Structure 1
Amino acid sequence: MDAEHVAGDLETVLLREDQILSRVAGLAREIGTDYAGRDLVLVGVLGGAATFTVDLARAMDSSVEIGWMAMRSYTTGKRSSGSVRLLKDLDLDIEGRDVLIVEAVIDTGLTMSWLISSLQQRRPASVAVCALLRKPDSPAFDVPTYVGFDVEPGLIVGYGLDFRGRYRNLRCAAVLAPHAVR
């Protein structure tokens, strides 16, 4: 779906599809160089990072295995619950393997901190993070972190990110207009 199909719901388009795909290719090159010859597992965070995870894997020049996890750290609306609940655990054995957590957006860092700790307990060779978007005031993590774009605050939809199940198939990344938050 293109932005013009839901233009009335969007405050502003942050990133066009071509900008996103160009940066994803750049991230794939960086990661490919850093992990050349190593056994890399991408752990995509469902559902927002599904599109990003697949596009990142497809842009890489080496074979990677993809696993999925899902968790929830938000209760109602946009208010953080302060805790993380695991909805779907990883189905892969990552012991002794290099793990790259692939996330769509880092905001408060609560989910990512929990996820890093959870995966480190499984004795991987290493853990790193790759986020397409990072919002201001996001915490730094004690693991290597790759970031596609730094963005301003706002409810971002598109390229896999949703609001109440809608807008995931939007080809760009955009800030949802206040009146569309219903």
Structure 2
Amino acid sequence: MHQDIEEILVSEQEILEISKSMGAHISKDYAGKTPILVGLLKGCIPFMASLVKYIDIPAQMEFMAVSSYHGGISSSGDVKIKYDLETSVNGRDVVIVEDIVDTGATLSTITKLLLHRGAKSVKVATLLDKPAGRKVEFVPDYIGKTIPKKFVVGFGLDYEELYRNLPYVGVLKPSVYQK
């Protein structure tokens, strides 16, 4: 897998530092509250696992499977909910945990949905922000690192369900997906 990576954009050490810093920030912002951390599967898993270790307030973990990528390297813009929450968000503070915010379409749609379902507040915590990819106006509340408009994989991010298990985030060589 490593030979398919053109360059490393976010190292293991940087991810650890981002997790610690963001976890402390979320803990401070939600002191005295019990937020629901909603991970968007599958990409959120490594980052959410790293982040929650540094959130030192009571927090509930839930998951949704949501996709706007249906194969390929770009978002289709069509957001599909494949697996929904098992817990009501009515009256609760929600922090959506995501691996990357690219077009903003998925996060915009899910934020509106959770607010429609009665969430008291909805914020987004993302490992990576790629503002050059935006198709809708959307700004995450907690950003680990802003990256350029490159196709990245690793630490949850995939290409055709592969590379999620890389311990860093890297740029995938175009020769891998331009076949």
TM-score, length-scaled by structure 1: 0.91
| Equivalent residue, structure 2, for 1:45 | 40
Question: Could you say which residue in structure 2 is the equivalent of 1:158?
Answer: 154
Q: Does 1:141 align with 2:138?
A: yes
Q: Look up the match of 1:75.
A: 70
**Which amino acid letter does the alignment assign opposite residue 141 of structure 1?**
F
Q: How does 1:1-182 map to 2 (within 5 A)?
A: 6-137=1-132, 138=134, 140-141=137-138, 145-181=141-177, 182=179
Quick one: structure 1 residues 122 and 103, their matched pair in 2 at CA, closer, same or farther if it must change by over 3 Å?
Answer: same
Whose strand proportion is higher, 1 or 2? 1
Aligned CA RMSD, in angstroms, stands at 1.5
Identical residues among aligned pairs (%): 38
Quick one: structure 1 residues 140 and 30, their matched pair in 2 at CA, closer, same or farther if it must change by over 3 Å? Answer: farther
Q: Deviations over 1:46-75 (max 9, x none)?
A: 001111112111111112111000112123
Query: What is the CA-CA distance between 1:141 and the residue it aligns to?
Result: 3.4
User: Which stretches in structure 1 are left out of the alignment for 5+ residues?
Assistant: 1-5
Structure 1 moving runs of 4+ over 4 Å = none
**Count of aligned positions:** 176
Segments of structure 2 that go 5 or more residues without pairing to the other structure are none
CA contact (8 A) 2:66 2:81 kept: yes
Q: Secondary structure at the match of 1:59?
A: coil
Matched position secondary structure for 1:22: helix
Matched residue of 1:14: which SS? strand
